[in-house]
Amino acid sequence: MIYRDLCNEKVSQLGFGCMRFPTLDEDPRQIDKEKSSAMLKEAIDKGVNYLDTAWPYHGEMSELFVGEFLKENNLREEIYLTTKSPVWLCKTYDDFGLYLDKQLEKLQTNYIDFYLLHALDAGRWQKLKEQNIQDFIIEAKGSGKVKHLGFSFHDSLDLFKEICDSNLFDFCQIQLNYMDVNYQAGLEGLQYAHSRGIPVIIMEPLKGGKLAFKIKGVLKEIWDKHGVEASPAQLALKFLYNLPEVNLVLSGMSTMEQVLENIDTSSTANIGDLSSEEEALIKDIKKYIEEKTKVNCTACKYCIDCPQQIPIHDVFEIINTAYMYNDWDHSKKKYSQISEDKRANNCIECGNCEDQCPQHIGIIEALKKCHEELRLPS
């Protein structure tokens, strides 16, 4: 495993994102503890020393599971533990401390190595300033409950720079992959934070798994043209590890195969290792995916609390697959397997999902269009 510096801590360049564990009965709240524990053990045994969770992950069950796992295996002091403040739930200043204490209890620890204000955007940042968040930052670090405090981000580049310029934060976390170099903070944001001396953690390196696609059809033709041996997932990670400003890359892994492949890549890929052939392949793949992606969803599942129980991320995955591979028969069949009362046309337009979506997708309208394109003729 290759290690990099993060706030003067030696961290594995691959961090384990704890929001995509395997589950039971397709219920995100029911983490498959046996499989997930085996995956975490394998990763830690192979050198991964950074675990990233958050209050809403797996329907608020991720922190509980991670805490149990670390306690049962006596691994708390072997890793850097990260979680995030659910700032949207903090209505008063005192709520920040109350939620931090609840998270410490769930994680069965008395301190958090890296703590983030979660998913900042313009509205949340303005509210945090009004709530005197700078006082909480001083208090949390001064108490010893938090060692390093940063923020994760989903909004415009200008806002990102403003937050960096506040001089409140030890580090930051942004979405970046070869498809999103000009999206949200993007590549310019990465470079700006680095120039300000703010370490950067990368999330969504595979764009919610979208960049770990199957090589078939037109994609295979593009791949074969360049003669690159790396898999799609390896290529996406190599793109990020090639950037000297990146301090750590998070990957939310769902299978042991993903864990092993990502560890293999992260044990060899480093700055300067991206070949000219791989750069050319990325350029062609990016152009193809941009033309074919219908909905910019990363399957973060922040929208799982839909009152109609519509599996929103699944619907978007089906429509994107249909366009990516021109496989409409299979995609329509898969959509028809969703219970009729949970299909996209059952949306009541409450807007809860749009409020939570870090990609700022117009979900209500997108669901209407997906249903029209995916429904089988009656």
pTM of the entire predicted model: 0.88
- Pair 369, 261 in one domain: no
- Pair 281, 316 in one domain: no
- Residue 9 within a domain: yes
- Pair 72, 148 in one domain: yes
User: Which residues make beta-bridge pairs with 200?
Assistant: 172, 246
- Pair 234, 344 in one domain: no
Helix 93-107 vs helix 62-72: angle between axes, to the nearest 10 degrees? 40
Q: Is 249 helix (H, G, I), strand (E, B) or coil?
A: strand
- Residue 367 within a domain: yes
- Residue 305 within a domain: no
Nearest residue to 152 (alpha-carbon basis) of 56, 63, 25? 56
What CATH number corresponds to the domain at position 149? 3.20.20.100
* Residue-level pLDDT at 127: 98
- Residue 327 within a domain: yes
The Cα–Cα gap between 302 and 312 comes to 10
- Residue 221 within a domain: yes
**67-75 contacts: CB < 8 A, separation 24 or more?**
67/106, 67/107, 67/108, 67/109, 68/33, 68/108, 69/33, 69/36, 69/37, 69/40, 70/107, 70/108, 70/109, 71/108, 73/37, 73/41, 75/44
Structural domains of the chain, count: 2
- Residue 298 within a domain: no
- Pair 342, 282 in one domain: no
- Pair 257, 327 in one domain: no
Among the three residues 230, 264, 292, which one is the final residue of a domain in this structure?
Answer: 292
Among the three residues 259, 292, 325, which one is the final residue of a domain in this structure?
Answer: 292
- Pair 288, 356 in one domain: no
> Mean pLDDT across the chain, nearest whole number?
95
Helix 276-292 vs helix 232-241: angle between axes, to the nearest 10 degrees? 110
Q: Is the pLDDT of residue 214 over 90?
A: no
Q: Is 258 helix (H, G, I), strand (E, B) or coil?
A: helix
The Cα–Cα gap between 98 and 94 comes to 6
User: What digits encode the pLDDT tens for the residues 70-111?
Assistant: 999 999 999 999 999 999 999 999 999 999 999 999 999 999
Q: Could you list the residue range(s) of the whole structural domain that residue 287 is in? A: 3-292
- Pair 162, 95 in one domain: yes
pLDDT category at 299 given cuts 50, 70, 90 is confident
Among the three residues 264, 292, 320, which one is the final residue of a domain in this structure?
Answer: 292
Strand 246-252 relative to strand 80-85: parallel, antiparallel, unpaired? unpaired
User: What digits encode the pLDDT tens for the residues 245-263?
Assistant: 999 999 999 999 999 999 9
Tokens of 20: 């995509």
- Pair 257, 337 in one domain: no
- Pair 225, 359 in one domain: no
- Pair 209, 340 in one domain: no
pLDDT category at 304 given cuts 50, 70, 90 is confident
- Pair 279, 361 in one domain: no
- Residue 154 within a domain: yes
DSSP per-residue letters across 318-376: HHHHHHHHT-HHHHHHHHHTS-GGGSGGG-----HHHHH-TT---HHHHHHHHHHHHPP
* Residues 6+ positions from 353 with CB-CB distance below 8 Å: 302, 303, 306, 312, 363, 364
The Cα–Cα gap between 351 and 138 comes to 35
Tokens of 60: 């608020």
User: What digits encode the pLDDT tens for the residues 54-81?
Assistant: 999 999 999 999 999 999 999 999 999 9
- Residue 299 within a domain: no
